Structure 1
Amino acid sequence: MGKYVVVAEDDADIAYVVSDVLESEGYEVRTAVGAAALDLIRERSPDVALLDYQMPGMNGVTIANRLRERPETQDLPIVAMTAATRAPAVCEEMQANACIGKPFDVDQLLVVVEELVHTTHETA
């Protein structure tokens, strides 16, 4: 089965770049904003969820908290995406497995996602 990632990001340009980069490496990627990302994750559990910190409606912290509350998603690897200056605090607040500061380095994004996907498949 292929590697599946959900990206929750309200900036269409960033969502496009993240999707394009991951798809070029063989990932299946679905993008959404706010609560719609939670719906995507509940429909089909991804290998990794990339969550933007600030989004209208439901932000990344709320999505992460909801995921951690549910047994079927409590162990889902989460990558927090936020302005680099706030990254450590945001990562902790979101209980994220990794944090990517924006603007992000494409190679770093790939390394972080691949490591988390590899870990997910090892424990599955």
Structure 2
Amino acid sequence: MRSYSRYVPGASGRVLVVDDNKVIRQLIRVNLELEGFEVVTAADGAECLDVVEDVRPDVITLDVVMPRLDGLRTAARLRSEPATQNVPVAIISACTRYEVESGLSVGVDAFLSKPFEPSELLRVVRQLREKGRQGELKRKRAEGPAERTRR
């Protein structure tokens, strides 16, 4: 089993990019890596769920239409698991009205329509990374020092 929990010095954050189209995965990867993000990719929702706890991403991007497990069902599963329920999720897809409504109902944080501008991708990922960091700080404050030391 591969381990993804290594720390990359100077990385702006870790993003798990999930898309069945290899070209799209690489396009997203290159754009994020150029801006200092560490990127791990998965080819579909099932692979995402297999690696997400080892990867420990700051943000997850999901396509909607993928084999085995689509993006909306993947997002719902991520939200149902304690280890991933608070990781910010963005849908990067054609973003039909149905996809947006379904995504909102399962807790998706942001939507980016394909084709997208690289600057929009970076804006969305940075906003979600910051949202995730603020949420983590709130959770740690709420836990208190005794709870944190038990882990």
Same fold by TM-score greater than 0.5: yes
SS at match of 2:119: helix
Stretches of structure 1 lacking an aligned partner (at least 5 in a row): none
Cα distance, 1:84 vs. partner? 4.1
Is the 2:92–2:114 contact (alpha carbons within 8 Å) kept by the matching residues of 1? Answer: yes
Alpha-carbon separation, structure 1, partners of 2:49 and 2:42 = 9
Is the 2:16–2:41 contact (alpha carbons within 8 Å) kept by the matching residues of 1? Answer: yes
Distance 1:4 1:102, change over 3 A: same
2:114 paired residue number:
102
Matched, 1:77 2:68: no
Distance 1:109 1:94, change over 3 A: farther
1:28 paired residue number:
38
2:18 paired residue number:
8
1:114 paired residue number:
126
2:142 paired residue number:
none
Is the 1:6–1:48 contact (alpha carbons within 8 Å) kept by the matching residues of 2? Answer: yes
Is the 1:53–1:81 contact (alpha carbons within 8 Å) kept by the matching residues of 2? Answer: yes
1:92 paired residue number:
104
TM-score normalised to structure 2 length: 0.76
Cα distance, 1:90 vs. partner? 4.8
Alpha-carbon separation, structure 1, partners of 2:106 and 2:26 = 23
Is the 1:80–1:99 contact (alpha carbons within 8 Å) kept by the matching residues of 2? Answer: yes
SS at match of 1:53: coil
Cα distance, 1:85 vs. partner? 3.9
1:67 paired residue number:
78
Cα distance, 1:65 vs. partner? 1.1
Distance 1:105 1:27, change over 3 A: same
Residue-by-residue CA offset, 1:33-65 (whole Å, 9 max, x unaligned):
121111221212200000000001111112111
TM-score normalised to structure 1 length: 0.91
Higher strand share: 1
SS at match of 1:107: helix
Aligned length: 124
Cα distance, 1:123 vs. partner? 2.8
2:55 pairs, out of 40, 44, 59, with: 44
1:19 paired residue number:
29
